[in-house]
Structure 1
Amino acid sequence: MTDFVFCSCCRVHHARADMQAIDTPRGQRWRCRRSILAAQSSVSERDAFGRRQSEINRELARRLANRQPPPVEQQRQQWLGEHEPSAH
């Protein structure tokens, strides 16, 4: 099984092999190679990368916000069904 690490730059989990630990004043953070290479690019390329990543993050947030949780009663019934005492 591949070990995944959360990228603090693009806010996505990546395989550890694609990540690099960065020491910051607040502790160690992980960044993917893609974000590190983008940071070393020209200002216009960095800005374009940032805009693309922001759009990806906005779309992800929109999708998560639109997910409808099941009604509470349905959740309760499902939980009760999974946790029924076994008959001895």
Structure 2
Amino acid sequence: MGRRNRRDHHRHAPPPGAAGTRGAPSSSVRVTATDAATSWVMPEDAEDPAAEIRGRAQDVALLLWGRRDLATSSLEVRGDRAAVQQLLDQPITP
């Protein structure tokens, strides 16, 4: 293993505003895959979701990975639509 110097540390740090560096959404959202009979809350440590996204697992995955737009998807949104959009505007992986 080579030595890491201070310069290397800064080279690997993500730039401000990069994925994973923004704050967590202020509201939580329950995500339900109706065909898989499973659901979870995002962010995972939150309680009392402000909204719910419901639909087929494939459609949910496409939405969360940014491959499908909420407005044109077949997913059902219950509750605070702004909370859902705030969640979708955040990166889903650290």
In which range does the TM-score fall when normalised by the shorter chain? under 0.3
Q: Name the larger-Rg structure.
A: 1
Task: Name the TM-score, length of structure 1 as normaliser.
Answer: 0.24
Which structure's residues are more often helix, by fraction?
1
Tell which has more relative contact order, 1 or 2 (C-alpha 8 A, sep 6+).
2
